[in-house]
Amino acid sequence: MSDAKNFYSTLSDDVLALRTRDGDERAFNELVMRYLGRISFIARKYSARGYDHKDFVQEGLVGLFHAARSYRTDSEGSFAGYAMLVAERRFISIIRRQSALRSVPDTAIVDIDSLTSEPADSSKNPEEELMLREQLSHVYARLRETLSKREFEVLGLYVDGLSYSSIAERLGITTKAVDNALQRVRRKVSGFDMS
């Protein structure tokens, strides 16, 4: 198990993306650990009614998954740039949807239960979105049961964009304890078997 953890941590983002495209969940877990902080940081710039920071982070992780699935290694850009672009576009889509909803009068809104035909737009593949959301929920559940209470608290604050010193101050621990907790989280998460 330790060799598998070390193996994934040595792979480049490009290779992890290719392995994710081939269905390797450990590769995606490694990408999540590498990009969670960046996605959380970018997500702090956005807000929309009905969405909190964690909703944006989850959308960013969905974007990360789609980026890994669609990234081409023969492109000129890096995977990191591409992944952040895809995540940010998802954030912008949320805001656009919210803006569109605000501009629609209540009398024009149709009850979805009254619709009988299938929607015409199948470009977003809702089944894949649902499966990914379920996988992310499963990852969060595994984090909750695998990590200690302190590790889970540290990870939650880190995802919220707090610095090591801010986390340490909030939890009444040292910055070294924060770093150690995040290192333990990384080791535990890279060993997840999600099957």
The domains of the chain, with CATH numbers, are 2-103+125-190 (1.10.1740.10)
When pLDDT is averaged across residues 98-125 and rounded to a whole number, the result is 50
| Residue 16: count of CB within 10 angstroms of its CB | 23
- Cβ neighbours of residue 181 closer than 8 Å, sequence gap 6 or more: 150, 151, 154, 155
Identify which has the larger pLDDT, 27 or 98.
27
The 10s digit of each residue's pLDDT in 58-108 is 888 888 888 888 888 777 788 888 888 888 888 888 787 776 655 545 554
Cα 32 from Cα 44, distance rounded (Å): 17
Question: Of the candidates 144, 131, 153, which has an alpha carbon nearest to the alpha carbon of residue 189?
Answer: 144
19 has pLDDT over 50: yes
Exposed, middle or buried, 156 (CB in 10 Å: 0-12/13-18/19+)? middle
Residue with tokens 């924060």: 178
Q: Which of 27-36, 82-91, 137-146, 170-179 shows the lowest mean pLDDT across its residues?
A: 137-146
Q: E strands along 108-147, which residues?
A: none
Cα 9 from Cα 36, distance rounded (Å): 15
